[in-house]
Structure 1
Amino acid sequence: MVSVLTAGHVNWDVTLRLDRLPTPDAEAAIRSQRQSGGGSAANVAATLAGLDVETGLIGSVGDDDNGLLARRELEEAGVSLDGVRIVEGTPTAVKYLLVDDDGEVAVLGNDGINEAVAPDDLDERRIRTADHVHLTGQRPDTAAAIARIASGAGVTVSFDPGRRLGDRDYGEALATSDVVFANDREAEAMLEDEYPGSDFSDRIVVVKCGGDGAMVHTPNGSYAHPGFDVDPVDTAGSGDAFAAGFIAIMLADGRRNGADGGRESAPGFDVERALEYANACGALTAAQEGARSTPTRAAIETFLADHF
């Protein structure tokens, strides 16, 4: 049985380091190129595994070389792939990450087959037996179905809808989630009646602010952490690493304190510690090249010790 089940995209990433992000009618020089696994759900799963959390994944890849490489990398990280569909005759989604000298990122890509998992494909037993389910951007009906199954079994749910929040109706999954992750633009969209009927005052909302740290709003109060001063090399995947760090502390503290970390048990874990740990995970990832530069628990502990 896994402790955390993540659900969403499994991609293959091609990272191009540029002297600058290109503008219309301009040209940028490629400084280097590398390839690795990507996709928010896969990134969170790999980071959680690096933090010694037993993690499984729900997603889909093609039966091509990129899909094989993505699965092999996740297996080597220690992620259970029992919930990953391999679809014949369709390519794995590939994302091209353009990274400038300041670590800023732009993304190009195709969806490939990273949304082949439909509600009827879900293994409900696997969802019900997890300690926590983390949703990322994916088909809205699949996200909603996973959230319903988990919530009905008393399993806590977190959701980080990502860049496509404004393009898709994630209202049901958001309404069911105990913890919602968003950057400042996404949080503003959610709170400005973009999702009518979703009241976020009764749950934990984590607002990621990049290099400026993050804020957490809970039913019992709000908390902020300024982040850590690092030289960003590549910010791709840093938000996923942040979410993994927050979830890892939420679950660990919740077990010790006999609480599940959900919206009714915010005092069951140390929110400020989770925020600090999450920022450390994000900072370490941003200071390295590639969305899958997964920090380990030992590396995070050393980083935090060096900064205090």
Structure 2
Amino acid sequence: MTHVTILGSINVDTILQISRLPKPGETLAMSGKQVAGGGKGANQAIAAARAKAETAFIGKVGDDPNGKLMRRALEAAQIDITQISTSNYADTGEAFILLDDEGQNSILVDGGTNQEIKIADIERAQASIDAADFLIAQFETPLTTTLAAFRYAKSVGVTTILNPAPAKTDLDPELLKLTDLIVPNETESETLTGIKVTDEPSMQAAAHALLNQGVKAVIITVGAKGAYYQTKTEQGFIKAFKVDAVDTTAAGDTFIGALSSQLQGDLSNLASAIRFANKASSLTVQKLGAQPSIPHLSEILADGDIQKA
């Protein structure tokens, strides 16, 4: 069984359903409202755990109802929450998601306790990193903490996966040198490389730029089209499964969590793991909400058009 440790964000999402995004100064009536667990890190952890990876989490919540809610949700998913600490100074992170009738979303985030994760938290969580095949991080927690975590992971031979989301430009170059696999979408890829992703040649150029910055392998996800991957020895494009999207929230997080559950530590089965992750994401977008929509392994394998990587 693959062991995955995730350093990341924990949010409670409020989903506001609207016909379309409002114009400046406009008032629109909502057609629905839901509250669900979220946060890129927590979503990825639940996706990994539901795909049957042994999963542990490094994060922080507030001493508030949302924090208690998220602890219960992660524990119910059989995630090791030993390294989720509680802050007495900030509230649990929250996200407010505007979801339109086409299934597209715009998201506002209050980082809350996610921004309080410190290097000391990484030092306390070293045993969780030691036990992992993969350490995954995103950009919803402090970059200095992620850098410390990746330094430690590489010192003990753990493969690192970086989801550079939301996109940032002020990266310490060392972070990419410590990254074995980076997984941006087309927007995040452009932010990191300055290359606009419009077709496969531009994906290849962006991937080369990231490899030149020190990462070992690149996956650029392009939504409903699929994902492009490149290493120093191989490259390719894996098409997405065609479905009718209801809500794209957590599609990328599902992809990364599901991917990590199937990967070999040397990334030798990258293409087959991407196909598995594409299938998982295609199921996520057909349901409403982040964590409620993330599929279990049995659902991913149910129709027989995908197998474990």
TM-score > 0.5, shorter chain as reference: yes
| Cα distance change on mapping 1:135 and 1:162 into 2, 3 Å | same
Tell whether 2:223 aligns with 1:210.
yes
User: Per-residue deviation at 1:165?
Assistant: 2.0
Report the Cα distance in structure 2 between the residues aligned to 1:156 and 1:57, rounded to whole angstroms: 16
- Structure 2: 5+ residue runs without aligned partners? 196-205
After the TM superposition, which parts of structure 1 deviate over 4 Å for at least 4 consecutive aligned residues? none
Which position in structure 2 is the counterpart of 1:281? Answer: 280
User: Per-residue deviation at 1:294?
Assistant: 1.6
User: Per-residue deviation at 1:105?
Assistant: 0.6
Report the Cα distance in structure 2 between the residues aligned to 1:109 and 1:198, rounded to whole angstroms: 30
User: Per-residue deviation at 1:70?
Assistant: 1.0
Report the Cα distance in structure 1 between the residues aligned to 2:191 and 2:134, rounded to whole angstroms: 26
Asked if structure 1 preserves the Cα contact closer than 8 Å seen for 2:56 and 2:128, the reply is: no
- Which TM-score applies when normalising by structure 2? 0.88
Report the Cα distance in structure 2 between the residues aligned to 1:90 and 1:119, rounded to whole angstroms: 18
Asked if structure 2 preserves the Cα contact closer than 8 Å seen for 1:36 and 1:70, the reply is: no
Q: CA RMSD in A?
A: 2.2
Asked if structure 1 preserves the Cα contact closer than 8 Å seen for 2:103 and 2:247, the reply is: yes
Match of 1:199 among 212, 216, 237: 212
Asked if structure 1 preserves the Cα contact closer than 8 Å seen for 2:179 and 2:215, the reply is: no
User: Per-residue deviation at 1:198?
Assistant: 7.1
Which position in structure 1 is the counterpart of 2:163? Answer: 160
1:99-120 deviations in Å (ceiling 9; x for gaps): 1011101011311111211112
Report the Cα distance in structure 1 between the residues aligned to 2:132 and 2:13, rounded to whole angstroms: 28
User: Per-residue deviation at 1:125?
Assistant: 2.6
User: Per-residue deviation at 1:199?
Assistant: 2.2
1:114-135 deviations in Å (ceiling 9; x for gaps): 1211112222232122121011
Match of 2:132 among 121, 130, 133: 130
1:116-165 deviations in Å (ceiling 9; x for gaps): 11112222232122121011112011000000000010010000020232
Identity of matched residues, %: 29
| Cα distance change on mapping 1:272 and 1:156 into 2, 3 Å | same
Asked if structure 2 preserves the Cα contact closer than 8 Å seen for 1:171 and 1:198, the reply is: no
Asked if structure 2 preserves the Cα contact closer than 8 Å seen for 1:6 and 1:56, the reply is: yes
User: Per-residue deviation at 1:88?
Assistant: 1.6
Asked if structure 1 preserves the Cα contact closer than 8 Å seen for 2:193 and 2:210, the reply is: no
Report the Cα distance in structure 2 between the residues aligned to 1:237 and 1:161, rounded to whole angstroms: 15
Which position in structure 2 is the counterpart of 1:257? Answer: none
Report the Cα distance in structure 1 between the residues aligned to 2:29 and 2:239, rounded to whole angstroms: 34
Tell me how many residue pairs correspond in the alignment: 291
User: Per-residue deviation at 1:173?
Assistant: 2.2
Amino acid in structure 2 at the alignment position of 1:187: S
- Structure 1: 5+ residue runs without aligned partners? 255-259
Tell whether 2:89 aligns with 1:101.
no
